[in-house]
Structure 1
Amino acid sequence: MYQVQQLIGGVWGAGGDAGRLTVLDPVDGTPVSEAPVATEADVGAAVKAARSAAPRWARTSPAERAAALRRAADAIEAVADQLAEVQTAELGRPLALARGGVEAGVSTLRQYAELGPVRGGRSLAGDAGAIDLMVPQPRGIVAVITPWNDPVAVSCGLLGAALVTGNTVVYKPSERTPAAGFLLARLLDEHLPSGVLSLLTGDARVGAALAGQEVDVVAHVGSTATGRSIAAACARSGAKALLENGGSDPLIVDGDVDPRWAAEQAAMGAFANSGQLCVSVERIYVLRSVANRFLGALVQSAKAMRVGPGRDPRSELGPLVDRRHRDHVHGQVQAAVADGASVLLGGTVPDGPGAFYPPTVLGECTDQMLVMREETFGPVAPVMVVESFDEALSRASNSPYGLAATVLTASMSNAQRAWRELPVGTVKINAVFGGAPGGAAEPRGGSGQGFGYGPELLDELTATKAVHIGAPGGEGGRW
């Protein structure tokens, strides 16, 4: 079993007197990791240590900070298998997906190591005898609060961007994946000055206590409810809230595409990582002209997916993160059926241990159903048949969330309309996943605010200062 320690002010094993939490393997319910629960005093001590280390780290040259990230990236890459295994143990993720998350995290650290030193401000054209500059500076202390569904990749993005721009960090990983956060923090800390990074573990109360501290930025990836609480805390403290929260991402299937190919895309989008991705396909609108063939192919694609333990290389879908989350997913499915949805595949809780849930396809769905309005975050594909692309676009746009959307179409005019009109941060045409490296978007509505990825994240984590340097006045008037 993984024994997790906290890091406060350069000291591993500090604090944690509020108790211990145990994470159970979602495959069989056996304990896999144990972590301390931070006290209010621990949270305050971590922030104080970060504040103390901040001036020195801010003065460290960007090249030196980037070199530290590169060394950390190399160290993480060297133990990628171990970091994948701990994810599989804590959240049931298939090993290949877990390793892909580690590789993505390593790539992100290296990307920010390259971008950090070449970022600069700009000079302004002012008086001939003066110098005018706009200079980015570290914001100070960044509280990084990360989710369980892709713990290494997401954490590397926020931690790497915050550190390379000269901020100190207090890092709180999800209580469902504390060992993944612990191992990642150890590897980073080995290459950073004491106090630059602190690690706190515990439940939502610890995250709330950290968000309420006198920090400069709270960067959070997770649920909309938690994001709103963090935004309220930041409004009180004056900290900047950087949020990527829940989504109810739509998929539109136009009437001019191959329905079998569209079904393969839909299955990938709805069922990858057992539907536990921020940008999972959560609701599907298919035009009536291809609906029957699409639904038949979607059921066949879902049937072909192998569900099993993440350690089994044949498994395509692992369990959900725990039984509590499975109850949430199944509850939404049951509510949809009670409201008139038809179960075309799945929709039942399997016998036996663990938190497994089958790929589920629902037909005859309506706008009023929770599965079409809220984030399910499970392997569920609810489908509504529509009469036109206009109707699909209108229904897809009618959501309090604004994270991402996908449109499958052979019509360039429909593709152009879709990316212009859909009120989301990311629009993908003819691919549920993919995109050029370095892409970044701002979520909208209940899905958050601010850039969470790409070069723009470096701008989010710095504050720009305007500087005017004029010659001294009086007699002489020169330097």
Structure 2
Amino acid sequence: MTDLAVELDLPAAGADTARGIRIDNPVDGSLVGRIAMATREEVTGMVASAGRAAYSWARTPAAERGAALRAAAAAVRDRADDLAQVNERETGKPGAEAREGALAGAGTLEQYAELGPVHRGRSLLGDVSATDLMVPEPRGVVAVLTPWNDPVAVACGLLGAALATGNTVVYKPSERCPHTGLLLGDILAPYFPAGVLHSVAGDGEVGAWLAGSAGVDVVAHVGSTRTGRSIAEAAARTGAKVLLENGGNDPLLVDSDVDPVWAAKQAATGAFVNSGQICVAVERIYVHRAVADVFTDALAAEAERTGLLPLVDVPHRDGVHEHVTDAVARGAVLKAGGVVPDGPGAQYPATVLSGCEPGMRVLTEETFGPVAPVRVVEDFERGLNEACDDAYGLAATVLTSSMEHAQRAWRALPVGTVKVNAVFGGAPGGAAQPRRASGQGFGYGPELLDEMTTTKVVHIEPAPG
């Protein structure tokens, strides 16, 4: 297979050929491509270039910035198939789902193209002879660091909000999908003035250089909690604002009054879609004993129908399997899956574990794979208490016919998003703040425009005379 960087005429990723990134197809293990990582000097140069471009871009009329974003969104739509092809080959994400992600990214760019020009401050009621205003202004240079599990959609959200509000950007995609990220950056860059948008390839060290740069005013990161905490430490030294959407260990509660077969289908969707590689995937399940047997058997049947799923690479697959083997060693029972298949690639079967107990890694840590650990509880209150007892705070799902239980649960769960009777879904325009180890700040929605700006208070009085 030819190198994607050559095949798709991608921009040069960096000069350090000794420190390269090799990407293998997680389905069959074949070579996808190699990319050289940026040097520290290149990262410093990009940040400086973005800083020089910040003044004029901030003063570009908001409507013109919106028009540029709208044109860039159209280009992403036109290249959705190319982005999907590269994404599938790098991460194993099925082509149809990868294309949906690219189109979702284009839609998000369009959304911020509309929202940016109407983002507004406030006038204040002061002295009648004076004018008092609260005015939003761009923060400056934004470092955008994005994950591999939905690379185009996530990146477009952060890039769109930053650019719409007049910030300049240095964008580093995950080292697990550098070709996808560089292609996206190459598609977007021509629609903005020189210096406004840079793309850089590299590993965690390159990301640390970028996040810790004194010229960066905002670091927006979607990815692991460990990396997010390192970014927060670096930003504490530079004074940069930090936006983090990090790991999650999202619970699913199954009450005694719901159809257990329907609940199992919901659980399978939440645990197995995108191979479980979604930040808001179902990571741990608490099911009422009254419906536990039927629910678990139905969930195991869903897993058997799902079969093998591609994970992003072999090290990640091995980490998922470690969680499963830890649970089995501590007494959990494999109801489906749980066996590493023979052959190349990084596939893993949809897996169901019953008999899970507190302390098992599948309940206390984010597995981020197609694993559904089932914990049987005696009553709804016990399940709710255990669901709340966690280091993360991203999302949770509750399946119940009881309005009382639904109300109690959404108020008690210490997470940014609670879904009742649907593992996915929600009205457009919603935005949540993750909690605890899951991060901080609004990472999407109209509120992201507020995160990307800072407010200046202005008081104007007429001169005497």
TM-score range, shorter chain: over 0.9
User: What SS does the aligned partner of 2:348 have?
Assistant: coil
The CA deviation at 1:360 is 0.5
Q: How does 1:348-387 map to 2 (within 5 A)?
A: 348-387=339-378
The runs of 5 or more residues in structure 1 that have no matched partner are 6-10, 308-316
Matched residue, 2:75: 75
Matched residue, 2:194: 194
User: What SS does the aligned partner of 1:19 have?
Assistant: strand
Q: Match for 1:330 among 321, 343, 353?
A: 321
Deviations 1:173-216 (A, max 9, x none): 00010011011101110111010001110111000110110210
The CA deviation at 1:19 is 2.8
The sequence identity of aligned pairs, in percent, is 64
Counterpart residue identity of residue 334, structure 2: V
Is 1:213 matched with 2:213?
yes
Matched residue, 2:256: 255
User: What SS does the aligned partner of 1:453 have?
Assistant: coil
User: What SS does the aligned partner of 1:281 have?
Assistant: coil
For 1:182 and 1:249, the matched residues in 2 are separated by: 31
User: What SS does the aligned partner of 1:174 have?
Assistant: coil
Matched residue, 1:391: 382
The CA deviation at 1:4 is 7.5
**After the TM superposition, which of the residue ranges 14-23 and 433-442 deviates more from structure 2?**
14-23
User: What SS does the aligned partner of 2:192 have?
Assistant: coil
Q: Assess if the C-alpha contact under 8 Å between 1:255 and 1:290 holds in 2.
A: yes
Matched residue, 1:414: 405
Is 1:445 matched with 2:446?
no
User: What SS does the aligned partner of 2:155 have?
Assistant: helix
Q: Assess if the C-alpha contact under 8 Å between 2:14 and 2:201 holds in 1.
A: no
User: What SS does the aligned partner of 1:76 have?
Assistant: helix
Q: Assess if the C-alpha contact under 8 Å between 1:332 and 1:371 holds in 2.
A: yes
Counterpart residue identity of residue 445, structure 2: G
For 1:12 and 1:279, the matched residues in 2 are separated by: 33
For 1:96 and 1:354, the matched residues in 2 are separated by: 20
Deviations 1:413-459 (A, max 9, x none): 11111111100000000000111111110000000000001000000
Q: How does 1:118-197 map to 2 (within 5 A)?
A: 118-197=118-197
Counterpart residue identity of residue 334, structure 1: T
TM-score normalised by the chain length of structure 2: 0.97
Q: Assess if the C-alpha contact under 8 Å between 1:242 and 1:450 holds in 2.
A: yes
Counterpart residue identity of residue 297, structure 2: G
Matched residue, 1:295: 296
Matched residue, 1:426: 417
Deviations 1:119-150 (A, max 9, x none): 11110010111100000000000000000010
Q: Assess if the C-alpha contact under 8 Å between 2:13 and 2:37 holds in 1.
A: no
Matched residue, 1:3: 5
Deviations 1:42-62 (A, max 9, x none): 110010000000001000011
Q: Assess if the C-alpha contact under 8 Å between 2:182 and 2:200 holds in 1.
A: no
The CA deviation at 1:306 is 4.4
Deviations 1:218-259 (A, max 9, x none): 000000000000000011100001000000000000000000
Q: Assess if the C-alpha contact under 8 Å between 1:405 and 1:426 holds in 2.
A: yes
Matched residue, 1:16: 15
TM-score normalised by the chain length of structure 1: 0.94
User: What SS does the aligned partner of 1:302 have?
Assistant: helix
The CA deviation at 1:301 is 1.0
Q: Assess if the C-alpha contact under 8 Å between 1:363 and 1:382 holds in 2.
A: yes
C-alpha RMSD of matched pairs (Å): 1.4
User: What SS does the aligned partner of 1:252 have?
Assistant: strand
Q: Assess if the C-alpha contact under 8 Å between 1:4 and 1:182 holds in 2.
A: no
For 2:292 and 2:11, the matched residues in 1 are separated by: 57
For 2:92 and 2:178, the matched residues in 1 are separated by: 14
User: What SS does the aligned partner of 1:149 have?
Assistant: coil
For 1:57 and 1:367, the matched residues in 2 are separated by: 52
Is 1:278 matched with 2:269?
no
Structure-2 change in CA distance of 1:344 and 1:34 (3 Å): same
Deviations 1:362-401 (A, max 9, x none): 0000110000000000000000000111001100000000
The runs of 5 or more residues in structure 2 that have no matched partner are none
